[in-house]
A and B are shown apart, each in its own frame.
Chain A
Amino acid sequence: MTNGGGEGGSQRRELQGKRSISRGNDFAYAVIRMAAAQICESVEISSYQESQTREGLRFSSFQETALETLTDVVIQYIQNIGKTANFYANMAGRVEGNALDIVQALEDLGSGLGFDGAHDVDHCLADSGVVKDIIRYTGEAEEIPFVYSLPRFPFNRGKRPAPSFSEIGAEPPDEHIPIWLPAFPETKMSNGSEETNVDKIEGDVQSRENGPSLSSMQQSVDVDRLKVQKSMDQKDVQKPTEEPEPEGNPFLAAPLWVGEKNVSRVFPPSELTKEEIRTNHVPEKYMSKSHHIPALEAYALSDKINDKNRLAETEDGQKRDGGRTERALLRFKIGTRKASVCWTLNQCLEEKGWFQEDGYKREKKVEREEKRESIDADVK
C-alpha cells in the first residue's frame, strides 16, 4: 500500500507533535500501525458491476493521518479491554483475569453498537453474542499473520537484580550490613573487564529470536555475572597481600600501597629564586617554616589542573643534575584564585594573629590576590 496524498506538510508536523505526547512506545506503535494497515488491506466489499461480475473492492492506499488515528484507536481499544476485564476480575475478588472477564469486557465495549442477545441480562456469558460474532469472524475472514517476525517483546535488558552478599559469598564490610542485601558495586577497575563479559552475553542473547524463555536467559546471564563478580572479589581481596600482575594494561594496574615500592624522597630545593615566583605566590614563607609544605601540598592536590599546567612549563627549565637526588625536582606553582581559599584556611590554622585588630582588615584582603604581600609582612 502506498501513502495517499492530500495532507499538507504543516499539518503532519502539527499532528506529530501532538502524537508524541500520547505515543509512549515507538516500537509498539509502529508494529500496531503495520498490523492495522494489513487488516485494512484485507477488508473487501463485493460489488456487482453492470456486467454482473463480482468485484472485490479494497483500499489501495491510505492517508497517513488516517492510519495514525486508527492506530491510536486500536491501542486505546486494547487498553480499554484490559482495563474493563481487570475491573471485572477485581469485582469478583480475583487478581488474574478470566476468559469470562474478557467476554464481559467485550460486551461492555460492544454495547454501544449492539450485539445479539444484548437485551438478555441473565444469559450465560459463554454463550454471549460477542463470542459468536468472533467465532463467525474467524471462520469467514482469511488468516493474515503479521508481516515481520518479531523478537520476543518487550525485550527485557539489564534488569537483573544485583546479587546479594550471600550469593556472591563475600562478607559485608561492616557489621551493620546484613548479608541478604545486594553487594556493593565493584570499583572502576574491575568493572571494566566485567562489562565486556556482560556485553558478550547480551550479544548472544540478542542473536536468538526464538530462543529459550526470558527467565532462563536471565538466569544464565545472572550466573555468568555472578561468576565474573566472584572472580573480581577474590582478586580484590588478594590485592593488598600480593604484588600486582606484571602483565596486562599498566594503566589498569592497581594503585600502589604505602610502603610497597621504594620511592626516593623528595628534598626541598635549597634555593627558590625570585624568578620563579609568580605574582601571587610567596615561597620565602615556606622556607622559614618547613612544616607548611605538607599542608600546602595537601591543598595543592586540589588544584591539580593549574598545577599540571605550570608543571609542564617549569619542569623543563628546572631540572638539576646530580646534586641531591636522581629525580627531577618538581615545583608546585600554586597561586591561582583558588589558592585564596587555602590561604584563608592556612591563616586560620597557623596564624594566631588572625584575631588581632589588623587581622580583621586582612580578612577582606585575603579574598584578593594582590594583597598577598601585606599578609607576608604580618607573618614576618
Chain B
Amino acid sequence: MNHGQQSGEAKHEDDAALTEFLASLMDYTPTIPDDLVEHYLAKSGFQCPDVRLIRLVAVATQKFVADVASDALQHCKARPAPVVKDKKQHKDKRLILTMEDLSKALREYGVNVKHPEYFADSPSTGMDPATRDE
C-alpha cells in the first residue's frame, strides 16, 4: 500500500510539472494568435476543445521559430564583416535575415531550403560570347 501510494505520488509529481505549466500558460500570451493555431491544427485533423493545448502548440512553435532565428543570427554574425574604414570601425553592422543564413539554420532542423542564386533568361546567358553557340 505504501509502495503504491509512493509510486502514485511519484507519478503525480511528474504530472505536476506539466499541469502547472499548462495552468501558467493561460497567463502567457504567445505571439501566434490562438485562433490561427487552432485553424491550422484543425486543417490537419487535430481537434481539441482545450485552449491550453492550443497554447502549448503555439508556444512550441514560437520556441521553434526563435531557435531557427537565433541560429540564423549566429550564421549572419559569423560571416566575415565587410571592410570598413578605421573611423567607422565601431559602426553597428546591420544584420539582415537572408535566405543563405535561413537555409543553413533550417538545415539542422531537417528542412531543406535550396535557393537558386540567380535566374537567367536562357542557358547561355552570361557566358563568354566567343564560346556561345549561335
Contact = CB atoms under 8 A, between A and B. Distances in A.
B59 A42 contact: no
Interface of chain A: mostly helix, strand, loop or mixed: helix
Contacts of B22: 99
B79 to A, nearest CB: 13
B14 A124 contact: yes
A66 B32 contact: no
B82 interface: no
A124 B11 contact: yes
Contacts of A40: 65, 69, 97
A138 B59 contact: yes
B108 A35 contact: no
A69 B33 contact: no
Interface centre among B39, B69, B76, B94 (most CB of A within 10 A): B69
Interface residues of B, number: 66
A339 B8 CA distance: 92
B66 A137 contact: yes
Interface in B86-115: 90, 94-99, 101-102, 106, 108-111, 113, 115
Given A59-B95, A78-B61, A137-B63, A31 B17 contact: no
B31 A66 contact: no
Interface residues of A, number: 76
A311 B106 CA distance: 75
Contacts of A57: 73, 77, 95
Contacts of A4: 96-98
Interface in A66-98: 66-67, 69-70, 73-75, 77-83, 85-86, 89, 95-98
Contact of A10 (B47, B99, B102, B119): B119
Nearest to B57: A81
Interface string B51-65: 011001101111111
Given A97-B46, A97-B48, A138-B28, A43 B70 contact: yes
A144 B36 contact: no
A137 B52 CA distance: 17
A66 B94 contact: no
B36 A31 contact: yes
A153 B33 CA distance: 9
Interface stretch (A125-133, A196-204, A243-251): A125-133
Nearest to B90: A49
B102 A66 contact: yes
Interface string A112-140: 11000000000010110011111101100
A59 B73 contact: yes
A333 to B, nearest CB: 61
A96 B33 CA distance: 21
B5 interface: no
A302 interface: no
B96 A79 contact: no
A35 B109 contact: no
B59 A134 contact: yes
B74 interface: yes
A143 B66 CA distance: 12
Contacts of B97: 4, 40, 59, 61-63, 66-67, 70
Interface centre among A44, A63, A112, A132 (most CB of B within 10 A): A63
Nearest to B101: A66
B83 interface: no
Given A43-B69, A131-B17, 19 more contacts: A25-B39, A32-B32, A38-B31, A45-B70, A57-B77, A58-B73, A59-B96, A63-B96, A66-B99, A69-B115, A74-B61, A78-B57, A82-B40, A82-B41, A82-B57, A89-B46, A102-B53, A135-B21, A154-B35
7 contacts: A39-B62, A39-B69, A61-B94, A62-B96, A86-B47, A98-B53, A113-B109
> Nearest 4 A-B pairs (CB), nearest first?
A82-B46, A82-B44, A62-B97, A153-B35
